[in-house]
Amino acid sequence: MPRVVLVGPPGSGKSTTGATVAELLGVGFHDTDAAVEAAAGRSIADIFVEDGEPAFRDLERAEVSRALAAEDGVVALGGGAPVDPTTEAALAGHTVVFLDVGIADAAKRVGFAASRPLLAVNPRASWVRLMEARRPVYERVATHTVDTAGRGVDEVAGEVARLVGTDP
């Protein structure tokens, strides 16, 4: 079982902070988006364009299920992963940290580049809409919440590592 699973919206820092948390804890780091891309041999943006979002969600659900069973370090999910009911149910019993962030910090961090297809059109409005819909899901699955607003990667990673460092 992973030591900690990171959830939160795009730009909350799951992928970047997760790698630092893993270093601090001396464990491996696994990003489910990177695993989906490696297995498909294509970027997430290409999977969205060529096969559509439902096809990506199917790949994501399968990869998250595998990672929750097989990985034992830090696991970062994609921002939409916990919205899937199967994935939400599978997160029960795991140590899950919700990296919270507001639109101002997320916009500064992500720049809303084309690599995040859901934010390609009207990025700020799309991000706010996604976050409004998903916040209840993040709050339901989280065992801990860390506010990342105005805080750098090292500070956030240090707090996450302290929160979960004593967990078995």
Ligand X SMILES: O=C(O)C1=C[C@@H](OP(=O)(O)O)[C@@H](O)[C@H](O)C1
Q: DSSP strand E in 39-140: where?
A: 74-76, 96-100
For the bound state, the minimum distance from the C-beta of residue 89 to ligand ADP, rounded and expressed in Å, comes to: 22
Using CA atoms, how far apart are residues 46 and 20, in angstroms rounded to an integer?
28
Binding mask 10-49 for Mg ion (x = CB under 5 A): ----xx----------------------------------
What the block records as the tokens of 15 is 């992928």
- The one segment of 88-96, 113-121, 140-148, 157-165 that binds ligand X by CB under 6 A: 113-121
115 is in an annotated binding site: no
63, with CB counted inside 10 A (0-12, 13-18, 19+), is buried
Q: Report how far residue 72's alpha carbon sits from residue 154's, in angstroms, rounded to the nearest whole number.
A: 22
How many Å apart are CA 156 and CA 162, to the nearest integer?
10
18 binds ligand X (CB under 6 A): no
Q: Is residue 44 a contact residue for ligand X (CB under 6 A)?
A: yes
* Residue ranges in 24-43 that form contacts with ligand X under rule CB under 6 A: 33
Residue 25 or 77: the one with the smaller Cβ distance to ligand ADP is: 77
Question: For ligand X, which stretch binds (CB under 6 A), given 19-27, 91-99, 114-122, 157-165?
Answer: 114-122
> Facing residues of 146 across strands?
99
- CA–CA separation, 162 vs 23, rounded Å? 13
Q: How far is the CB of 57 from ligand ADP (least distance, A)?
A: 17
Residues that bind Mg ion (CB under 5 A): 14-15
